[in-house]
Structure 1
Amino acid sequence: MLNKILEELKVLIGENQYKNYFEILQINESKNNEIILNAPNQFIAKHIQTKYQNILEKIAEKTNSKKYKITIQVNNEKINKPQETQPIVTKKQISILNQSLTFDNFIVGQSNEFAYRICKTITDENKFGKDFNPIFIYSNTGLGKTHLLHASGHECLELGKKVIYKTSKGFKKDYYNAILTNKFDSFNSEYKDCDLLLIDDIQFLGTTDKMQEEFFHIFNDIIERKGQIIITSDVAPKNLNGIEDRLKSRFNKGVLANISVPDIETKKAIIKKKSLVYDIELNDEMINTIANYIGENVRDLEGIINYIYAFQSIRKQKITLDDLKNQIKEYIKENQSNIEIEDIFDIVSSELNVKTSEIKSSSKKQEIVKAKRIVIFLTKELISNSVSQIATHFQMKDHSAISKHIKKINEMICLDDDFRSLVEHLKNKIINSKNKDY
């Protein structure tokens, strides 16, 4: 039974954290529903008490339907569970970082492992600001980019680093406020003097030459001082619309880390961890149903868990599999039922900087053919019975021409990870644009 509890723990906290803290313990189960953890030193023992004891207790109770006592020892001597105290944090730390987004509660899977490991690496004092700089993380919405930014920030604050976290819109706001209040020197020194600069959603930085020039100089100053920069985006640097080439070049010189759609096992691990946080009991069939039917966005998984929590809290009863399936059907239907082909044209045109009239034309230019194929592919994906609409908009005489375009784009998706990410990004943006509460 103890092995089952520990396997569940490994899934929830990640294999890396499990190896770091639990594989070095001597772990025993007594006859009195007690799990004894014998740590090699006080540091490991205190760390486990603070971050993992409550999780372990919940897993043990859930697995065996009864409460377990967790005892932590150092060299076979029992230590007392510390009283819960509020961490001392400055107003600056509170304002820039979400306290719940840490490496400990980030679920690592094949789809995000490289991005996770590269961010973890720079939190080592010997690696900070050296080999992997800048780090550029790109993926569709809701796959964990922001989580990794905040987690990196927390770790670097513990190293005594000065951390600045901003969305690109936040950076723009600071820039314009500095101009309006005539405090440009203060703006410059604050950014250029930081040790770790975290910029979220760089794709929204905008097309203002002066502001991009200022960001370019800040970027160079931090790199030259051996500071560290981590940037996130919905797309790879080469696909950034409106960003100067010299900035794209700087981004490409760093480490590019793509987070792809989570595989089924990673999604299951996320569901299990979130359900544990909310104290929700889900059987394997329910977990499999959620993982199979809820797609690419991790926030969607969280949304379903929030729904289950609300359902059980309000009705005072456990959710059934049928209730869960009905909610998932409504969720999928709500996201995609009101999408029209004009929505697809509008977003692809805007994101790829190609006019709608050009996409509909017979032009053979590479970027226009690429946009046309994407529109055809996404229309077929997102709108039911859409073949006739595609034929009408592109003045195609038969279905074979449509099939050729779809076949070609499927080949490109298989061969080019960046292109696949771009198509996934556009698909998510189209769905999100029709769902204001998404």
Structure 2
Amino acid sequence: MSKTAQTVWNNCLEFIKDNIQPQAYKTWFEPIIAVKLTDNALSIQVPSKFFYEWLEEHYVKILKVSLTKELGEKAKLVYIIKMENTYGNKQPFTEKIPSSNRSAVKSQEVDIPLKNKNPELRNPFVIPGIRNVKIESQLNPNYSFENFLEGDSNRLARSAGLAVAAKPGGTSFNPLLIFGGVGLGKTHLVHAIGVDIKDKYPEKTVLYISAEKFTQQYIDSVKKNNRNDFIHFYQIIDVLIIDDVQFLSGKTGTQDVFFHIFNHLHQNGKQVILTSDKAPVDMQDIEQRLLSRFKWGLSAELQTPDFETRVSIVKNKLYRDGVDMPEEIINYVAKNIKSNVRELEGAIISLIAQSSFNKKEVTIDLARIVVEKFVKNTKREVSIDYIQKVVSDYFQMDVNTLQSKTRKRHIVQARQLAMFFAKKFTKASLASIGSQIGKRDHATVLHACKTVDNLTSTDKQFKKYVDDITKKLSV
């Protein structure tokens, strides 16, 4: 009797069912559909990429054993990920195939582990002028513009990124510096720009590298006495993306070599893209000649997303993972996790995992437990608006008075304290703080912070103001 895909899969399921928990079987194996059997390859359809990755991570051994029992040692498993291809073919480990439902497909032998998505640079040096050397871009294809959702908090940065991707080196956004706090999507956005450029301009050499790795490569080049080779390598890049450029602070040798690389790329119409946790004006121990070049193009800030954007991010994450969740729970998670996108997505993953492992439905009570853990484990970030309200209430004035142009001493001091605490308790740039507290510039904020530091050490009454407000903001 010849075997069919369904009979082979049914036999595999019988074996799997006897060896795992009933709830796990129901969650991760009942939704799978056997599609076809070709020689020793069984094709199965799974609901999403998340589903496929979960199977590979948690059930690869049992799949291998069950399939080997049915089809022998040369058995292969082919995953068909059934999802509308809204995001093109950027999903990792998938390739687009023509079909009526525009599904994506992945063929993977069960006994071979997935390849590393970001292989290390083997050698950062090539002979100057040689352009036929293959340079891996180090880009993550999972980071795309399609899954970097637009909102008020990131509109400028995203729009600038799209402009650069359309015409790298040909816009006034060169360099493009994306800055903002942890987990707001800086790395995602610069990868998306790089991926889009590679799609539009396959002939261009694009390279993503962290400032930390760049520094280490430079140190190695000095040790091996091939500093010039290091410089020549980076001078042949068409689009250079350096992540966390603030890491260059205090590293004068690395800054010097980057200065020469930057000048060469910029003069030759090449694109430079940078990320940082702060604006150029707030960077410490970076040479002025380098800072001035950072300001040649556009510096765009990523801010904390608002509620509507957070809801969109959660829905997009659930869609990509092929998971349904009630609107009430989506809104609850988005309302309570405000600090950054990474934690928001982390909470959703945790919620799905908790539901699966503990054999529970995703309910509002389960959401409260998961969110509570995230909020407890995350240092609360106070908003600039809240700081202004606390300071205004403390000095018995309204926020409009605090923000006004008056030079009355007690109002000036209240305003300076608001700026001081905004710098201390938020990740906002000096320019952003000044803009939100009475439309002042970054120099005013810097002066305010120095004044507060000086008065705290010399004026007992003023020190009491600082201590009292600190307690109110730390509650």
Task: Check conservation: 1:112, 1:258, Cα contact below 8 A.
Answer: yes
Consecutive unaligned residues in structure 2, runs of 5 or more: 1-80, 88-97, 108-116, 122-134, 381-413, 427-454
Deviation at 1:90, TM superposition (A): 11
Question: How much identity, in percent, do the aligned residues show?
Answer: 31
Deviations 1:280-338 (A, max 9, x none): 3221211111111101211110110111121122123322101211221222123349x
Q: After the TM superposition, which residues 10-409 of structure 1 pair with which residues of structure 2 at under 5 Å, given as runs?
A: 53-54=84-85, 81=102, 84=105, 96-125=138-167, 128-158=169-199, 159=201, 160-336=203-379, 376=421, 396-397=460-461, 401-402=465-466
Deviation at 1:100, TM superposition (A): 0.8
AA aligned to 2:280 is P
AA aligned to 2:147 is N
**Secondary structure at the residue paired with 2:207?**
strand
Deviations 1:113-139 (A, max 9, x none): 1111111112224x5344221111111
Deviation at 1:278, TM superposition (A): 2.6
Task: Check conservation: 2:85, 2:102, Cα contact below 8 A.
Answer: no
CA distance, structure 1, for counterparts of residue 268 and residue 196 of structure 2: 20
Deviations 1:364-386 (A, max 9, x none): xxxxx9997666568889xxxxx
CA distance, structure 2, for counterparts of residue 176 and residue 399 of structure 1: 45
AA aligned to 2:193 is S
Deviation at 1:82, TM superposition (A): 7.3
**Secondary structure at the residue paired with 1:232?**
strand
- In structure 2, the CA distance between the partners of 1:138 and 1:220, relative to structure 1 (3 Å rule), is same
- Residue in 1 aligned with 2:442? none
- In structure 2, the CA distance between the partners of 1:394 and 1:327, relative to structure 1 (3 Å rule), is farther
AA aligned to 2:223 is L
**Secondary structure at the residue paired with 1:231?**
strand
AA aligned to 1:178 is S
Task: Check conservation: 1:123, 1:152, Cα contact below 8 A.
Answer: yes
**Secondary structure at the residue paired with 1:161?**
coil
Deviation at 1:208, TM superposition (A): 2.4
Deviation at 1:405, TM superposition (A): 7.4
CA distance, structure 2, for counterparts of residue 161 and residue 155 of structure 1: 11
Task: Check conservation: 1:271, 1:287, Cα contact below 8 A.
Answer: yes
Deviation at 1:210, TM superposition (A): 2.2
**Secondary structure at the residue paired with 1:331?**
helix
**Secondary structure at the residue paired with 2:334?**
helix
CA distance, structure 2, for counterparts of residue 282 and residue 268 of structure 1: 12
Deviation at 1:179, TM superposition (A): 1.0
CA distance, structure 2, for counterparts of residue 110 and residue 238 of structure 1: 23
CA distance, structure 1, for counterparts of residue 254 and residue 287 of structure 2: 11
Task: Check conservation: 2:83, 2:103, Cα contact below 8 A.
Answer: no
CA distance, structure 1, for counterparts of residue 177 and residue 370 of structure 2: 36
Deviations 1:383-423 (A, max 9, x none): xxxxxxxx9999754898349978xxxxxxxxxxxxxxxxx
Task: Check conservation: 1:278, 1:309, Cα contact below 8 A.
Answer: no
With the length of structure 1 as denominator, give the TM-score of the two structures. Answer: 0.60
CA distance, structure 1, for counterparts of residue 242 and residue 118 of structure 2: 21
- In structure 2, the CA distance between the partners of 1:161 and 1:323, relative to structure 1 (3 Å rule), is same
Deviation at 1:83, TM superposition (A): 6.9
Deviation at 1:184, TM superposition (A): 1.7
**Secondary structure at the residue paired with 2:260?**
helix
- In structure 2, the CA distance between the partners of 1:378 and 1:103, relative to structure 1 (3 Å rule), is closer
**Secondary structure at the residue paired with 1:281?**
coil
**Secondary structure at the residue paired with 2:105?**
coil
CA distance, structure 2, for counterparts of residue 288 and residue 81 of structure 1: 31
**Secondary structure at the residue paired with 1:189?**
helix
**Secondary structure at the residue paired with 1:310?**
helix
**Secondary structure at the residue paired with 2:278?**
coil
The aligned length equals 302
Task: Check conservation: 2:211, 2:242, Cα contact below 8 A.
Answer: yes
AA aligned to 1:116 is R
CA distance, structure 1, for counterparts of residue 273 and residue 218 of structure 2: 19
Task: Check conservation: 2:137, 2:206, Cα contact below 8 A.
Answer: no
AA aligned to 1:100 is N
- Residue in 2 aligned with 1:364? none
RMSD value over aligned CA atoms? 4.1
AA aligned to 2:232 is S
Deviation at 1:190, TM superposition (A): 1.1
Task: Check conservation: 2:190, 2:273, Cα contact below 8 A.
Answer: yes
**Secondary structure at the residue paired with 2:184?**
coil
Task: Check conservation: 1:138, 1:232, Cα contact below 8 A.
Answer: yes
CA distance, structure 2, for counterparts of residue 224 and residue 305 of structure 1: 45
Deviation at 1:183, TM superposition (A): 2.1
- In structure 2, the CA distance between the partners of 1:279 and 1:81, relative to structure 1 (3 Å rule), is closer
Task: Check conservation: 1:373, 1:405, Cα contact below 8 A.
Answer: no
CA distance, structure 1, for counterparts of residue 82 and residue 219 of structure 2: 41
CA distance, structure 2, for counterparts of residue 194 and residue 380 of structure 1: 39
Answer with 1 or 2: which has the greater Rg: 2
CA distance, structure 2, for counterparts of residue 322 and residue 203 of structure 1: 41
- In structure 2, the CA distance between the partners of 1:254 and 1:83, relative to structure 1 (3 Å rule), is closer
CA distance, structure 1, for counterparts of residue 205 and residue 259 of structure 2: 20
